[in-house]
């Protein structure tokens, strides 16, 4: 230990022991376990007055809990449910929730605090050692169990009568199949349902907010309009299922800004319609940045360039948003010229 060689002897523990009065006899092994230290008494152990004070503190906490429970019941019957109160720093909050929660919390907490204080100050705090025993069985027990097992196995004849063993294993293997088969009717088979939406040739684009069919003039540059196919109403039984695929996002771009040839072909006067359902895991895309024509999914931040075939420019989405081919009917309303050419929403194995 070269670094310690210069240390003056005075500062070494042995030297200090001599200077100090503690001339303890050096144990055989200085690292040996000295055994449990003697118990140190608490003030409550030696002073009955202190113990009494602890007792009163515990009793006070229990009594406070009782008061809080009464308060809970009082709040339950007397506080109006729609009342809100101002509590600093929380602001305006429900009076009922606050009063019930606080009284219940105090009632419970005080029981706990009383019990813990009781245990810590008045119950014995003498540490007691207890022996551990090996978890594994003794060799005799192990031998006996193994012998019993062999005996049992032999008496069953399982090893000898192979026919029984094999048919039993077969039966036990097959029987859970019934349970698996029973799960079949959890749902229909996918078929091609993920490939089709409620859009069809001639279906009008209906504004989601106003429930009116859209005209090209309703869609101005820079705005983001959400649309659904005509005939799909909120009260419909399958509205949720259909809108989960058919939800549409409409923006108007300057036709010269559209970089993608097909996008331009499928648009009408710069109005383009894209599926609103993100191709990553299916969140509805709802943020549009008009300067850059970027649409952003707020769930996982996949970003699509609506001026360039809605290709992915950032984030975890794997492919562009499907575009809906649109035109204008005789009455001047925007209409679909067919269903989406590819499945909308998240990719799946059969998508191809």
Partner 1 sequence: MSIDTTEKPEPSGGKSRGKASGGERFADWTDGRLGIYSLARANMRKIFPDHWSFMLGEIVLYSFVIIILTGVYLTLFFHPSMNEVEYTGSYVPMQGQLMSEAFNSTMHISFDVRGGLLIRQIHHWAALVFLAGMFVHMMRVFFTGAFRKPREVNWLFGWLLFILGMFTGFTGYSLPDDLLSGTGVRFMEGAILAVPVVGTYLSFFLFGGEFPGGDFVARFYSVHILLLPGIMLGLLAAHLFLVFYHKHTQWAGPGRTNKNVVGMPFLPVYTAKAGGFFFLVFGVISVVAAIATINPIWAIGPYRPDQVSTGAQPDWYMGFSEGLIRVMPGWEVNFWGHTLVLGVLIPLLIFPLVLVSIGVYPFIEAWITGDKREHHILDRPRNAPTRTGLGVAWITLYMVLLVGGGNDLFATHLHLSINAITWFVRVGFFAAPVIAFLVTKRICLGLQRRDRDKVLHGRESGIIKRLPHGEFIEVHEPLAQEALHKLTAHEQYEPAAIAPPTDDNGVAKKLTRGEKLRAKLSRGYYAEGNQIPKPTVQEYEEITSGHGHH
CA distances from 81 to 2, 74, 76, 101, 177 (A): 78, 13, 9, 14, 53
Which of residues 79 and 337 has its CB atom nearest to partner 1 in the complex? 79
Question: Count of CB atoms within 10 A of residue 128's CB?
Answer: 6
Taking the complex as a whole, how short is the minimal distance between the CB of residue 53 and partner 1, in angstroms? 18
Question: For residue 229, which of 336, 322, 345, 323 has the smallest C-alpha distance?
Answer: 336
Question: For residue 249, which of 234, 227, 232 has the smallest C-alpha distance?
Answer: 227
Which of residues 246 and 258 has its CB atom nearest to partner 1 in the complex? 246
- The answer for residues whose C-beta is within 8 angstroms of residue 198's C-beta and 6 or more apart is 228, 229, 231, 232, 242, 245, 246
Among residues 43, 59, 63, 93, the one that binds partner 1 under rule CB under 8 A = 93
**For residues 123-152, which are near partner 1 according to CB under 8 A?**
123-132, 134-136
Instruction: Give the CA radius of gyration of the chain.
Output: 39
**For residues 262-301, which are near partner 1 according to CB under 8 A?**
276-277, 280-284, 286-287, 298-301
Q: Could you tell me how many residues of this chain bind partner 1 (CB under 8 A)?
A: 116
**240 touching partner 1, by CB under 8 A:** yes
Among residues 42, 53, 200, 319, the one that binds partner 1 under rule CB under 8 A = 319
Taking the complex as a whole, how short is the minimal distance between the CB of residue 158 and partner 1, in angstroms? 28
Which of residues 275 and 323 has its CB atom nearest to partner 1 in the complex? 275
> Contact 145/137 with Cβ under 8 angstroms?
yes
Is the Cα torsion angle 31, 34, 36, 40 positive or negative in sign? Answer: negative
Among residues 43, 56, 76, 160, the one that binds partner 1 under rule CB under 8 A = 76
Which of residues 22 and 155 has its CB atom nearest to partner 1 in the complex? 22
Which of residues 258 and 285 has its CB atom nearest to partner 1 in the complex? 285
Q: Which stretch binds partner 1 (CB under 8 A): 160-168, 171-179, 213-221, 315-323?
A: 315-323
**For residues 174-203, which are near partner 1 according to CB under 8 A?**
183, 186-190, 193-194
**For residues 19-58, which are near partner 1 according to CB under 8 A?**
26-27, 29-37
Is the Cα torsion angle 219, 222, 223, 228 positive or negative in sign? Answer: positive
Taking the complex as a whole, how short is the minimal distance between the CB of residue 17 and partner 1, in angstroms? 7
Among residues 70, 74, 119, 341, the one that binds partner 1 under rule CB under 8 A = 119
Torsion of CA 146, 149, 153, 159, to 10 degrees: -30
Taking the complex as a whole, how short is the minimal distance between the CB of residue 177 and partner 1, in angstroms? 16
Taking the complex as a whole, how short is the minimal distance between the CB of residue 160 and partner 1, in angstroms? 34
Backbone φ and ψ of 147, nearest 5°: -65, -40
Distance CA 340, CA 323 (A): 7
């Amino acid at each position: 230990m070269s670094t310690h060689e210069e240390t003056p002897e005075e500062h070494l523990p042995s030297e200090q022991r001599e200077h100090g009065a503690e001339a303890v006899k050096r144990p055989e092994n200085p690292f040996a376990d000295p055994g449990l230290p003697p118990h140190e008494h608490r003030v409550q152990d030696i002073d009955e007055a202190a113990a009494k004070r602890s007792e009163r503190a515990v009793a006070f906490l229990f009594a406070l809990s009782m008061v809080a429970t009464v308060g809970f019941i009082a709040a339950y019957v007397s506080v109006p449910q729609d009342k809100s109160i101002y509590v600093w720093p929380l602001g305006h909050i429900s009076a009922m929730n606050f009063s019930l929660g606080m009284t219940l919390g105090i009632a419970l907490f005080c029981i706990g605090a009383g019990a813990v204080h009781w245990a810590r100050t008045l119950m014995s705090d003498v540490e007691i050692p207890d022996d551990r025993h090996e978890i594994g069985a003794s060799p005799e027990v192990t031998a006996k169990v193994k012998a019993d097992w062999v005996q049992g196995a032999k008496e069953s004849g399982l090893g000898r009568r192979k026919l029984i063993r094999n048919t039993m294993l077969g039966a036990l293997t097959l029987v859970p199949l019934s349970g698996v088969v029973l799960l079949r009717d959890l749902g229909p088979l996918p078929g091609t349902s993920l490939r089709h939406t409620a859009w069809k040739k001639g279906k009008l684009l209906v504004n989601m907010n106003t429930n009116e069919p859209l005209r090209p003039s309703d869609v101005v540059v820079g705005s983001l309009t959400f649309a659904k196919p005509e005939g799909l109403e909120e009260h419909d039984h399958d509205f949720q299922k259909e809108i989960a695929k058919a939800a549409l996002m409409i923006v108007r771009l300057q036709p010269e800004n559209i970089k993608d040839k097909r996008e331009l072909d499928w648009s009408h006067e710069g109005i383009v319609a894209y599926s609103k359902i993100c191709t990553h895991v299916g969140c509805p895309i709802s943020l549009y940045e008009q300067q850059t024509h970027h649409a952003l999914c707020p769930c996982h931040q996949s970003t699509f360039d609506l001026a360039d075939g809605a290709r992915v420019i950032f984030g975890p989405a794997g492919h562009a948003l499907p575009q809906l081919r649109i035109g204008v009917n005789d009455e001047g309303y925007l209409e679909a010229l067919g269903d989406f050419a590819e499945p909308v929403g998240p990719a799946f194995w059969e998508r191809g």
